[in-house]
A and B are shown apart, each in its own frame.
Chain A
Amino acid sequence: MKVTIKLVGPFRDGRFKENVREYPSAVSVLEVVDELRIPRPLLGIVLINDIHARIEDELHDGDTLCLLPLLDGG
C-alpha cells in the first residue's frame, strides 16, 4: 500500500521532506519510525491525515503520516 510520509524539522536532515512510500498493509507508525531511523525520544507528535494519532496506530492505503519532533516550551 502507498503512504505519504511528511517529516518536520530535524527529521528531514538526511531524509526527505515528503515522500510517497510503499509499505505492507497494516504497518504501524512505530514500524515506519524505526524504518526511517527517527530517534524515538525525539518524536513528539504523530498526525495521520492531520489528526493526532498514537505511535501504535496502523496505517492504511492512501494515508498521510506526518512526524513531528517534540514541542516543549521555549
Chain B
Amino acid sequence: MKCFTSDPASEPASVLYARCTVDLGSGKTRYEDVPCRNLEDVLGGFGRSFQILAERDIRDAYCDANPLIVNTGLLTGSSAMTGLRTYFSGYSPIKESRKGLPAAIWSTGSGNFGAKFKWTGLDELIFENRSPEPVYALIRESVDGPVVELKPAGHLVGLSTHAKMMALQNEYGSNAHFAAIGQAGEQWENVYMGAVALSTDNQLKSGEDKMRFAGRGGMGSLMGYKNLLALVAQSSDKIKPLTAEVKKVNINVVKGGGSARLQPISRGGGGGTWAAYDVMQVFNAVPVNNFRPQGNDLPEKLFRENVEPQFVIKSEACFRCGITCHNNVHEKRGDGSAGRFLAKFDYEPLNLLGTNLGIHDAAQAASLIHLSDNYGMDSISLGVTVSYVLSYNERHPEQPLLNGARFGEYAGIRELVEQAGTGNLPEIGHGSKRLSESTGETSYAYHVKGLELPAYQPETNPGYAWAIAGGHMSMGTYGLLTREGKSDMDSWVEGITRTKLQIVGFDMIGLCKFFDITKGICTQMVVDCIKSEFDMDVTAEDLAAAVRRAFLRGLALELRQGYEKSEYTLPAEVWERPNQNIKLPNITSPEFIAELQKRVWEIFEPELEGLLPEIGQKGR
C-alpha cells in the first residue's frame, strides 16, 4: 500500500494498493499499483473485491471469467490485535438465486497467512481463468517487490488441508504460511462447499491440525475448479513496533470487555464461542435435530462443563492475539495431561456437526469436525445439509435418502461426511437448497438465499434474510432478540437497516470480529489504529459511511444476480410449524416477516441506485 495522503476519505486515489493478476491459463503475471476508488477500496477485503466482482457478468461460478480474489484489509499484518484476516472472494458455487445465478461471496479466516501475505508487499492477488494442471502459488518478497510464481502441485493432489500444509512447510520452512484446500475442494464438481484452510503458528510448530478456515460460500471449491491447490506466503515478519496508541487499543481489546466472552475461562473470560451453548439453552434455542429444539436438556451434554472432565481443553490463539478464542480439545491421558488433538470446539461446528445432528457425544462430534476440517469443507453448510438428510429420513422411514442415516446414528452420519468430503456424494456436496429442491420438500432446508444457516435458530433472527454473506456474520442481528430482548418492529428495522449491518466492516479492514464485536469498526479504537499505522485521518463517520456503501453494494449485487424480494425470507418451517419450545417472543410470523420486508426495502431500495458499475465498466 502506498499512501500519498492523510485524508483517504476525500482523496482515495492518492492511496494505491499492490495488485498481482495471475492468468492461470497462461501462467502470466501482471503487477500494478492500483489507485483506490473510494474509502472501501482503501479499507480492503470485500469492500474492494465486490467492486471488482460487480464489473463482471458471471452466470456460472465455474467459468473462466469468475475470478478468485485473495486480498487483505488495511490493518491485516499491522500491530493492531487480531489484524490477521485474509479474504477470499468470487462468485459462489453454492450460493445461488432461485434463477440459478451465482451470488458474489467472500469468506475470511485468521491464522497467520494473511499477515505473511501482506508482508510480501502484496495487497491483492487475482486469479483469472484456470490452470490445465494442478498448481500452487508461491507469493514471496524480493528486492524488487512481491513476486508470484506458479509451481506444479502434483504431489499435493489428494492430500487433506493439513497434509498439504505440512508438505509445503517441508519445502518452505518457518518463514512461510499456507492457505490450502482439501480433498473436498479438489472434487469441486461434486462439492460446492469447499473451504480454504489457513495455517496457524501453533499448527506449524506442533504438527497438529489446528487450522483456521475461510469456510463460507465455497471459495475452496472455486480454488479447486481453478486447479489451484494451495498458496504459500513467504516473507520475513514486518510488524511495526507497537506505538503507545495501538498498545492502548490492544489492551482495551483484551481487557476492555469487547472480547470478554471470548477470553479463556482461566483468565476470567467466557471461554470462547462455545459458551453460546449455555446462553442459547436458557431459551431452548440451541439447534437440535435440524433446527427443532425440543425443550429438553439434551444440548447440555455438549456443554463445556460436561465435556471438560473427559478431555483436555487448551485455550489457544492465532499469532500474537491476546483474545485466545480457540478451544482445542485433546484426549486426556491417565495422568491428566493432553494427548492427541481431536478438534476445535467453536460453537458453529460443534453444534451443526453435533447436537443438530442428534450427536451428543463429544468424541463423536469431535471426529466429525476433524473430518470436515481435513477434507476442507464449510462445517456450516456440511452440517446443515446432513441434518436436512436426517430430517428427511425421519419423515420418510420407508424411502429414506442416501444411506438412510437418522439423527444420532453416528456411523451412518460419519459415512455421509466421508462420502461427501471425498466427492462421492454430490447430493450433500451441492448443499441443502439443491437437495431440497430435488426432493420437493424445501420448507425444512435451513438455508437462506442458498447458503446454509449458522447455529442460531431462524426464529430468533429474521435479519438472516438480509445477510449478504455467511448468515450471522454479515448481519449482526442474531442477538437482537436473544441478547437485547427486542421483539418490536421498529427495533428490527433499525437493526437491519442501520446498526447491525455495520458488522461487515470487520470483513473489510482486516480485523477479527472479536476485536469489538458489539461496536464494530466505526470506533475511536480503529481510528487510532489507522492514524498510528498509516498516519491517515479517518473519522468514525467516514468509516460508517464506507461500511454502509459496501453492504448496500453487496445487496445490489444480489439483486443483479437475480434474487427476488420473495427470497429475502426464512425457511418456511419456521411459521408452518412454529416451535413452541423456544422461550422467546415469536417474531417470525408471516405477518411480521411481511411487514419487516416492506419496511426494510423502503429504506434500502432508494440507496441502491447507482452503486454498481455497468457490467464491463470500471466502478468509480
A contact residues vs B (CB 8 Å cutoff): 8-10, 12-13, 39-42, 44-45, 47, 50-52, 66, 68-74
Contact = CB atoms under 8 A, between A and B. Distances in A.
B347 A9 contact: no
Nearest to B271: A10
A68 B282 contact: yes
Nearest to A17: B305
A51 B268 CA distance: 27
Interface stretch (B191-199, B257-265, B392-400, B440-448): B257-265
A42 B270 contact: yes
Nearest to A43: B260
A13 B260 contact: no
Contacts of B545: none
Most buried by B among A9, A47, A50, A51: A9
A13 B271 CA distance: 12
B479 A72 contact: yes
Nearest to A9: B278
B416 to A, nearest CB: 23
Given A39-B268, A42-B269, A44-B261, A71 B282 contact: no
Interface in B570-620: 583
Given A42-B260, A42-B270, A74-B348, 16 more contacts: A8-B278, A8-B279, A40-B257, A41-B256, A41-B260, A44-B261, A47-B282, A51-B485, A70-B261, A71-B261, A72-B479, A73-B273, A73-B513, A73-B514, A74-B273, A74-B276
B-side interface size class: 35 or more
B564 to A, nearest CB: 29
B266 to A, nearest CB: 10
A39 B260 contact: yes
Contacts of B482: 45, 71
Chain A to chain B: the 3 pairs with minimum beta-carbon distance, closest first: A52-B485, A41-B257, A74-B347
Contacts of A44: 261, 279, 483
Interface string B506-529: 000000011001100000000000
A41 to B, nearest CB: 3
Interface in B194-234: none
B72 to A, nearest CB: 21
B275 interface: yes
B484 A10 contact: no
B519 to A, nearest CB: 11
A42 B272 CA distance: 12
B96 to A, nearest CB: 25
A68 B260 CA distance: 13
18 contacts: A8-B279, A9-B275, A9-B279, A10-B270, A10-B275, A12-B305, A42-B260, A42-B269, A47-B282, A68-B278, A71-B261, A71-B479, A72-B262, A72-B479, A73-B517, A74-B276, A74-B347, A74-B454
Contacts of B473: 73
B317 interface: no
A70 B265 CA distance: 13
Contacts of B260: 39, 41-42, 70
A1 B455 CA distance: 39
B454 A42 contact: no
B347 A68 contact: no
B472 interface: yes
Contacts of B583: 50
B383 to A, nearest CB: 13
B91 interface: no
B322 to A, nearest CB: 15
Given A9-B270, A70-B483, A72-B518, A42 B261 contact: yes
B279 A68 contact: yes
Nearest to B486: A52
Nearest to B348: A74
Interface string B470-501: 00110010110011110000000000000000
B486 to A, nearest CB: 8
Contacts of B517: 72-73
B279 A71 contact: yes
Contacts of A71: 261, 276, 279-280, 479, 482-483
Contact of B346 (A42, A45, A68, A74): A74
Given A68-B279, A70-B270, A73-B478, A10 B485 contact: no
Contact of A69 (B261, B347, B454, B513): B261
